[in-house]
Structure 1
C-alpha cells in the first residue's frame, strides 16, 4: 500500500528507457486473483456489452428518425465533446474524492440515462433532440467516470498487477464489442430499439453490485488531493515536466486523432473500393475486434510496459495501415485488419499502463483524464479532416494518410525519447540478420 504521494511513484528506469513494474504473478489472468478486481471485471463484462448494444442502437435510431448520416455524426460528436472540453476537470474530481464512491454515482447515472432513453423509445415519443441531449449528458458523466475508472484499477490491484489488469480491461471491452452489436441487431430486428436501450440501462446494475460487494479495506490506499486552487494547472505542469509521461500521451494523441478513423475507412473501402455489402462491412469490423482482443490478451501476458515497445509497435501499426491501404485484393485487406487491430490495441494498453505506472497516485486522476482527453477528444477533430481527405482523394489515400501520420509521429517521438534518455541507434549483425537497437551513448563510445 502506498503511504503518500511519493509512494508507488515512477518505477526505476533503465538504459532502454523502459518503465518496469514490480514483479507480478505470471499468467494472462493473474490480476483476477484479486477479489475486488474480479468483481469489477465481472460487472464490466455485463455493462460493456450493454454499452456496445446502445452504441449500435443509438446510431440506428438517429438514422431512422432523420435519414441523415450527418445526424449520426452529430450524436457522436456530442458524446465526445464534454471529454474534450471538461476532461481535465474530471481528473481533478477523481483525485479529490474516493473513486469507489464516484463510480457508484457515475455508473448509476449512466444506467439511469439509458433507462430514460429506453422509456422515450418504447413509448413512441422519442425525437432526435432527445437523443442529442442524452448523448451530451452521457458525455458529461464520462468526464468523471473515465478517469475515476482508469485510476481505480491501480487501487484494486496495486502496481505489480497494473499492466495485467489494464490489458484485461481492454480484452473485456473488445469481447463485448464482439457480442453487443450482434445482440443489438437481433433485438432491433425482432422487438425494437427500445428494448435494446432497456437492456443497456439494466446492465449497469452489474457494476453497481460489484462496487457494493467490494471490500474497501483491501484496496491499495492512496493519498487524495485536498481541495485547493490551481490543481488543474498543477496537473499540467506535472505532466509537462516528465518526458516519460508527456511523449507517450502526445503519441497516443496523434494515433487516436489520425490513425483510428476506421468507421470512415472501412465504410469507404466496403462501398467504393471493393463494392461489398453491409454484411461484409460488419465482417471487417469483426476482424478488427478479433485483432484487438488478441492484442489485449497478449499484452496481459507481459509483465512490463516498455516505452521502446510502445514506439516500435506504433511504427508497425502505421506501416501496416499503409500496407492495407494499398492492398489490391479484398482478402489481403481483410487479413491485414487483424494485426492492425492487434497493434492498435497494444499501443493503447502499453501507453496507458506506462503512464499510470510512472505517475504518483495522488496525481493519477488528472494525468489519466489528460490521457483520455487527448486520445478520445482528438476523434472529433481528426475524423472530419480524414473524412475530407478520403472523399477528395479516395479511400486508399485517406487510409494511407492516417497510417503515415502515425508512423511519422512514432518515429519522431522515438528519436526524442532516445535523445532524452541518452540513447543512440546502433546497427549490428546478429545470427546473420541485421538488428537495430537503442544503446546508451557511453556504451556505443566504448564499443567504438
Structure 2
C-alpha cells in the first residue's frame, strides 16, 4: 500500500486532464530541444572547426531572447497561453524543416563552409520564438493545477524534460552517425508537429487581467515588482548565475567529444544523455518529497553542478566524464525545479507571466556565457573556460549559504 500511495503522490498531477494534455503536448518540444543540442552544435563544428563559431551559434539564439523576453511575459499575461504555446510549436516545426531541406540539397554541409549562416538565422528565429512564447509554457501550469499540486506538476514537468534529455541526445547522435543530419532534423520537425495536436486539447484559460494595458507599461510594472521584492530578485539572481556560469558547456560539448575524449557525435549524445540520468533521478526525488528547505536545495544544487563541471572539464577519462555528467544533471535539474517552484509559489498571480519572462532571460544569458566561453576556449582552452566558470558558480553558492540567510532559510 505504501508503494501505491507514493506512486499516487508522485504522479498526482496526472489526475488533472488538462495537465495530461499539457504534458503530452510538451513531449515533442522536449525531445526536439534535446536532439538539437547535439545536432546543431556538432554540425557547425564539423563545418567550421571553430570554437568561436560555437559561441556565435549560441549567441544567435541569445540576442532575440534578451531583446524580447520581457515582451513574452507581457504577452503571456494578456493572451490565452494555449495559443501562444501552439504558435511556438508551429514555428519550431518550420525551422527544423528548413534545416533538413538545406542539408538534403547539399548546402548545409562541410562542402560549403560558408553555410553556417543557415544555423545562425535559424538560431535567431528560434530565439525569438522562445522569448515570445515560452513564458506561457511556465505560466500556464498554475492555471491548470491547484497550488497544492503545483510543486508536483513542475517536478513532473521537469522529469519529462529530463527523460527526453536522457533519450534525445543519444538518439540524435546515433541517427546522425547512421542516417545523416537531414533525417534528425526531419524527425525533430515531426515531433513538434505531433505536439501541436495534443496542445489543441488544452482548455483556453483566460488571462488574469481582462483589461488590456500598454505592453511597455506592463513590462515596467513587472520590473518594478521584482526590484521591490528582494526574495523574488534573489531567487532569479541565483537561477541566472547557474545558467550563465554552467550552461556554456552544452554548446562547447563538441570540443570535448571530438578533440579531447575523441568519441565522435555518438559519444557526445551519450554524454549528454547521461546528464539526463541524473536529471531524472533528481526530478523523481523532488516530486516525491515534501516542499521543505527549498532555498538551501537551490544553492546545494548549484554547488553539485559546479563541482561536476570542474572535474568534467579537466577529465581525459571517458568513465570519469560520464559519471560527472550524471552529477551535472542532478544539480541542474535540482536547481531549475526548485527555483521554478519558488518563483511560482511566491509571485503574485498577476505578475507571474512577467516574472517567468525574466527567468527566460536565462536562455539568452546562457548564449552570452557560451560566446565568452568560446572565445576563452579558442584563445586558452575549453577546459579552462568551462572549469573557470564552474568554479565561480561554486564560490558564489557557498557564499550565499553563509551570507544570504533569506535564501538559505526559504521554505
TM-score of the two chains, using structure 2 as the length reference: 0.84
Rg bigger for which structure?
1
Provide the residue aligned with 2:102 in structure 1.
Answer: 120
Q: Deviations over 1:233-288 (max 9, x none)?
A: 11011011112210011111111111233247766666777x54335554433322
Matched, 1:133 2:121: yes
Kindly indicate whether the alpha-carbon contact (under 8 Å) linking 1:224 and 1:362 is maintained by their aligned counterparts in 2.
no
Provide the residue aligned with 2:238 in structure 1.
Answer: 251
Kindly indicate whether the alpha-carbon contact (under 8 Å) linking 1:288 and 1:338 is maintained by their aligned counterparts in 2.
yes
Kindly indicate whether the alpha-carbon contact (under 8 Å) linking 1:97 and 1:224 is maintained by their aligned counterparts in 2.
no
Which is worse superposed, 27-36 or 396-405?
Answer: 396-405
Provide the residue aligned with 1:156 in structure 2.
Answer: 144
TM-score of the two chains, using structure 1 as the length reference: 0.77
- What is the aligned-residue RMSD (CA, Å)? 3.2
Q: Please give the alpha-carbon distance, in whole angstroms, between the structure 2 residues aligned to 1:270 and 1:132.
A: 22
User: 1:249/1:132 Cα in 2 relative to 1: closer, same or farther (>3 Å)?
Assistant: same
Matched, 1:62 2:44: yes
Cα deviation, residue 227, structure 1: 1.7
Local SS of the residue matching 1:214: coil
Matched, 1:71 2:60: no
Matched, 1:98 2:80: yes
User: 1:98/1:128 Cα in 2 relative to 1: closer, same or farther (>3 Å)?
Assistant: same
Q: Please give the alpha-carbon distance, in whole angstroms, between the structure 2 residues aligned to 1:398 and 1:87.
A: 27
Provide the residue aligned with 1:361 in structure 2.
Answer: 349
Provide the residue aligned with 2:198 in structure 1.
Answer: 210
Provide the residue aligned with 2:3 in structure 1.
Answer: none
Kindly indicate whether the alpha-carbon contact (under 8 Å) linking 1:111 and 1:201 is maintained by their aligned counterparts in 2.
yes
User: 1:73/1:325 Cα in 2 relative to 1: closer, same or farther (>3 Å)?
Assistant: closer
Provide the residue aligned with 2:276 in structure 1.
Answer: 289
Cα deviation, residue 183, structure 1: 3.2
Matched, 1:200 2:200: no
Cα deviation, residue 113, structure 1: 2.6
* Structure in which a larger fraction of residues adopt helix: 2
Provide the residue aligned with 1:277 in structure 2.
Answer: 263
> Where has structure 1 moved over 6 Å in runs of 4 or more?
326-329
Cα deviation, residue 200, structure 1: 1.8
Provide the residue aligned with 1:41 in structure 2.
Answer: 23
Kindly indicate whether the alpha-carbon contact (under 8 Å) linking 1:88 and 1:370 is maintained by their aligned counterparts in 2.
yes
Local SS of the residue matching 2:334: helix
Runs of 5+ unmatched residues, structure 2? 1-5, 109-114
Provide the residue aligned with 1:222 in structure 2.
Answer: 208
- Which of residues 359, 374, 383 is equivalent to 1:371? 359
Aligned length: 396
Q: Please give the alpha-carbon distance, in whole angstroms, between the structure 1 residues aligned to 2:313 and 2:37.
A: 27
| Aligned pairs (5 A) from 1:260-409 | 260-263=247-250, 275-278=261-264, 280-304=267-291, 306-322=294-310, 331-373=319-361, 375-387=362-374, 397-409=384-396
Kindly indicate whether the alpha-carbon contact (under 8 Å) linking 2:73 and 2:353 is maintained by their aligned counterparts in 1.
yes
Q: Please give the alpha-carbon distance, in whole angstroms, between the structure 1 residues aligned to 2:387 and 2:38.
A: 27
Provide the residue aligned with 2:157 in structure 1.
Answer: 169
Q: Please give the alpha-carbon distance, in whole angstroms, between the structure 1 residues aligned to 2:103 and 2:252.
A: 31
Provide the residue aligned with 1:445 in structure 2.
Answer: none
User: 1:144/1:243 Cα in 2 relative to 1: closer, same or farther (>3 Å)?
Assistant: same
* Structure in which a larger fraction of residues adopt strand: 1
Kindly indicate whether the alpha-carbon contact (under 8 Å) linking 1:265 and 1:398 is maintained by their aligned counterparts in 2.
no
Q: Deviations over 1:139-172 (max 9, x none)?
A: 1111112101111112122222222222222222
Q: Deviations over 1:307-362 (max 9, x none)?
A: 13222333344345446667796644542432232022101111111011111121
